[in-house]
């Protein structure tokens, strides 16, 4: 990974609008943690809210907002050429972009979701939340960086993907569910607390391996696409 490119892309992630949006989502996560602590069945409420809000909403929307812009904005405003003025392997640009998104989304999402889990005092959920959130961040960050590079209206396409595939089609059958990113980190949560959740029935090994593989494949695809992209 090229650390100079990483730092450039990292700085571009920190816009006031994005930080404000992440702060708003964080407030909802903390509120759900407080509500879970006072619920009749704290374990079930806490696990469900972490999975449904944290894995289904907070992480993918954060990753989409930052990931789609990481390289997509550079292509759109024709500044990507300045990133590779010095000859560098294209995979270092792809790796730096995904790493920058993971750094911001991961540190923010993991901190907030872990704090929310800690508020509930469901001890089995705390470590599982760290792991599940990290896995979701890796998968979604890689996926949306690749999407942002490939398509001009990547934000709209990404919203469509989350709404149609992740939240709708994944409920129609096991084949769709297995291609749903969220089902794997949610399975980590369900396995830790014993709370059943829809789609959270992936095998233990798959729950940990598949999100990492998705992230790595996305980096490979982004690298390959960069080698075929002509930037003026």
CA–CA separation, 103 vs 81, rounded Å? 24
- Render pLDDT for 79-115 as a digit per residue (tens, 0 to 9): 666 665 566 777 888 899 999 999 999 999 999 999 9
Q: Are 231 and 78 in contact (CB under 8 A)?
A: yes
Share of the chain above pLDDT 70, in %: 91
**What per-residue confidence (pLDDT) applies to 81?**
63
CA–CA separation, 8 vs 5, rounded Å? 5
Coil, strand or helix: which one is 46? helix
**What per-residue confidence (pLDDT) applies to 4?**
77
Query: Does position 224 have pLDDT exceeding 80, yes or no?
Result: yes
Q: Are 208 and 135 in contact (CB under 8 A)?
A: yes
| Domain assignments of the chain as residue spans, ordered by start | 3-228
Q: Are 225 and 88 in contact (CB under 8 A)?
A: no
pTM: 0.91
Non-local (6+) Cβ contacts of 50 within 8 A are 32, 113, 116, 117, 125, 129, 132, 189
Coil, strand or helix: which one is 77? coil
In the block, tokens 């904005």 appear at 73
- Render pLDDT for 208-222 as a digit per residue (tens, 0 to 9): 999 999 999 999 999
Could you give the maximum distance between any two Cα atoms of the chain, in Å?
A: 60
């Amino acid at each position: 990974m090229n650390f100079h490119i990483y730092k450039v892309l990292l700085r571009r992630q920190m816009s006031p609008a994005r930080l404000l949006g992440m702060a708003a989502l964080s407030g909802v996560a903390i509120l759900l943690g407080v509500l879970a602590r006072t619920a009749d069945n704290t374990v079930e409420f806490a696990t469900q809210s972490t999975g449904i809000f944290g894995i289904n909403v907070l992480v993918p929307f954060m990753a989409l907002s930052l990931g789609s812009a990481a390289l997509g904005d550079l292509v759109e405003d024709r500044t990507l050429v300045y990133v590779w003025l010095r000859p560098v392997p294209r995979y270092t640009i792809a790796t730096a972009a995904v790493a920058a998104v993971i750094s911001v989304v991961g540190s923010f999402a993991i901190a907030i979701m872990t704090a929310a889990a800690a508020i509930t005092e469901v001890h089995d959920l705390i470590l599982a939340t760290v792991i599940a959130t990290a896995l979701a961040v890796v998968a979604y960050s890689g996926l949306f960086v690749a999407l942002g590079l490939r398509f001009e209206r990547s934000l709209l396409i990404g919203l469509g993907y989350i709404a149609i595939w992740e939240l709708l089609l994944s409920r129609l059958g096991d084949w769709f569910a297995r291609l749903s990113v969220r089902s794997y980190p949610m399975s980590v949560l369900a396995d830790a607390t014993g709370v059943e959740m829809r789609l959270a029935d992936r095998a233990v090994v798959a729950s940990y391996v598949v999100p990492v593989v998705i992230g790595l494949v996305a980096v490979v695809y982004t690298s390959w696409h960069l080698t075929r992209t002509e930037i003026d």
